[in-house]
Amino acid sequence: MSESSADRIVSELRSWISDAAPGARLPSSRELAARFGASPVTVQKAMHTLVGLGLVESRPGAGSFVRGGRAPRTLDFGWQTGALRTAQARVPALSTPMRDAAVDAIGLHSGYPAGELLPERAVRAALARAARADAATSRSAVGGLPELQAWFARELGERTPAGVTPPAARDVIVAPGSQSALSSVFRALTDPGQPVVMESPTYWGAILAAAQAGVRIVPVSGDGEGPDPDDLVRALAETGARVFYAQPNFQNPTGVQWSPARRERVMAAVRAHGAFLVEDDWAHDFGIDADAVPMAAFDDGGHVVYVRSLTKSVSPAVRVAAVIARGPVRDRILADRGAESMYVSGVLQAAALDVVLQPAWRSHLRGLRTRLRERRDLLAASLAEHAPALRVERMPRGGLNLWARLPDGADADRLMRDCEAEGVLIAAGTEWFPAEPPAAFVRLNFSGPDPSRFGDGAAAIGRALRRQRVG
């Protein structure tokens, strides 16, 4: 049986458990295998899932039983209020896109592609080869594996036009994922209390990293071409900010790709104010109707600090990213990386390099473009049919998400809760705004598992909106 068979066993047993008394004995593994036509391994996997969900407990020699309720003991953690007297209280414990989904849920909330969109076979083979190599028992350099540094530099250099000096391998710092990279960049470029300019809305992880670094976020507005250049100039001039964080390609969450004219005006503003542009190229591998065009490829003056991740496109288990920076800022970021994590696992670096050097990597990305387009269009069509009151702001030319505006008067947080009650997970747009949202939005990921259920998910969203008397 396939992996989905274990999910079916879990789904049916959860339904049975909901009506069973605490302590009730579940059918034996042999009985379950016969009932579902499943192998013992599949049944065991399903039982492990139920145990992990806290629904079942196993008693060696006796079987598996519905977990009984226990009278909770009141715990007093009041002492932590004084011990945690810091500004971190305003940082959310766990963002919605990072939440785990139940096995039978329709997940439109996550920020990661489903496994079938990843080069799974290549990743497994690469990890196996890396585990047999010296990388499995040796320490990596703080800056990263030299061959991987050279690959990141060469990739960006291929987009560098004549007359602009391409980056060197030494300019590359390998980090354990872009989130960790952004944290280092904010710490290296700013001091607590200093301003950092960001688009509004923007990536929730950047907002979180900035909050943890203690910096003050200054939001700027934007439109379908990118950030408002005049608003950016005012923000840099009035606050004295020297850092502008942005995503020029397929912005998360809006999907906007900056127009050529907007790119020129933004870079002119950054250079005029002696500032850094922190370019988060998170969707570099997720072009659909257009390719990503890194701003860093056109800058050799050290103004652009470029962040490029392989985590979403290679595998979420291979958390490898790069920061490309030139001049003294590179040394500052490198020092922070050394203090933060000393170095990145050599096994993960070797595996990531192995995958992107395979001839199949390019063909995988070409196929991925087609599959993302199909999913994007299917989700948009499903929303238009079942939840017409939800307005998709624009069809993104790349990325993984649709950014949709709710009708006036709708409550995004209530919509999220009502959808979850129907087994559909979505993300309210509030987490992507560093300032007050101008309206209510939701972000919907079209790269998640089982696109055949997009229609069911859209129908649940439509019903939830109508219950608010707005859809």
Comparing 304 with 141, the larger pLDDT belongs to: 304
What pLDDT, on the 0 to 100 scale, is given for residue 153?
Answer: 95
**What residue has token string 């396939």?**
2
> What average pLDDT score do residues 154-165 get?
92
> Does 362 score more than 90 pLDDT?
yes
> What average pLDDT score do residues 210-219 get?
91
Side-chain-side CA neighbours of 100 within 13 Å: the count stands at 5
Are the C-beta atoms of residues 143 and 174 closer than 8 Å to each other? yes
**What residue has token string 């909106």?**
465
Mean pLDDT of the chain, nearest integer? 88
For the chain, list the domains and their CATH numbers: 3-66 (1.10.10.10), 94-118+362-467 (3.90.1150.10), 120-360 (3.40.640.10)
Please provide residue 437's backbone torsions phi and psi, each rounded to the nearest 5 degrees.
-65, 140
> Does 2 score more than 60 pLDDT?
no
- Sequence-distant (6+) residues with CB within 8 A of 113 are 312, 313, 400, 447, 448
Strands 63-66 and 106-107: unpaired
Comparing 104 with 243, the larger pLDDT belongs to: 243
What pLDDT, on the 0 to 100 scale, is given for residue 17?
Answer: 85
pLDDT band at 84 (very low <50, low <70, confident <90, very high): low
Name the E strands within 82-151: 106-107
What pLDDT, on the 0 to 100 scale, is given for residue 463?
Answer: 93
> What average pLDDT score do residues 60-79 get?
68
> What average pLDDT score do residues 265-287 get?
95
pLDDT band at 52 (very low <50, low <70, confident <90, very high): confident
Range in 13-22, 165-174, 372-381, 391-400 the model is least confident about: 13-22
pLDDT band at 62 (very low <50, low <70, confident <90, very high): confident
Residue 292 and residue 258: Cα distance in Å, rounded?
A: 10
> Does 394 score more than 50 pLDDT?
yes
Are the C-beta atoms of residues 166 and 153 closer than 8 Å to each other? yes
> Does 270 score more than 60 pLDDT?
yes
DSSP state of 68: P
What pLDDT, on the 0 to 100 scale, is given for residue 56?
Answer: 83
Comparing 344 with 71, the larger pLDDT belongs to: 344
> What average pLDDT score do residues 159-185 get?
92
What pLDDT, on the 0 to 100 scale, is given for residue 312?
Answer: 94
What pLDDT, on the 0 to 100 scale, is given for residue 4?
Answer: 61
What pLDDT, on the 0 to 100 scale, is given for residue 16?
Answer: 87
What pLDDT, on the 0 to 100 scale, is given for residue 89?
Answer: 42
> Does 3 score more than 50 pLDDT?
no
What pLDDT, on the 0 to 100 scale, is given for residue 94?
Answer: 56
What pLDDT, on the 0 to 100 scale, is given for residue 78?
Answer: 61
pLDDT band at 86 (very low <50, low <70, confident <90, very high): low
- Report the 10 Å Cβ neighbour count for 340: 14
What pLDDT, on the 0 to 100 scale, is given for residue 187?
Answer: 92
What pLDDT, on the 0 to 100 scale, is given for residue 245?
Answer: 97
What pLDDT, on the 0 to 100 scale, is given for residue 75?
Answer: 61
Strands 441-445 and 427-428: antiparallel
Selection from 358, 287, 284, 453 nearest residue 120 by Cα: 358
> Does 95 score more than 70 pLDDT?
no
Range in 30-34, 88-92, 192-196 the model is least confident about: 88-92
> Does 375 score more than 80 pLDDT?
yes
Comparing 436 with 235, the larger pLDDT belongs to: 235
The predicted-structure confidence for 400-430, as pLDDT tens digits, reads as follows: 999 999 999 889 999 999 999 888 999 999 9
What pLDDT, on the 0 to 100 scale, is given for residue 240?
Answer: 93
Are the C-beta atoms of residues 467 and 450 closer than 8 Å to each other? no
> Does 308 score more than 60 pLDDT?
yes
pLDDT band at 220 (very low <50, low <70, confident <90, very high): very high
Range in 136-145, 253-262, 387-396 the model is least confident about: 136-145
What pLDDT, on the 0 to 100 scale, is given for residue 471?
Answer: 60
Are the C-beta atoms of residues 167 and 315 closer than 8 Å to each other? no
> Against a cut of 0.85, is the pTM above it?
no
pLDDT band at 72 (very low <50, low <70, confident <90, very high): low
Please provide residue 97's backbone torsions phi and psi, each rounded to the nearest 5 degrees.
-65, -15
What pLDDT, on the 0 to 100 scale, is given for residue 43?
Answer: 87
> What average pLDDT score do residues 176-194 get?
91
> Does 101 score more than 60 pLDDT?
no
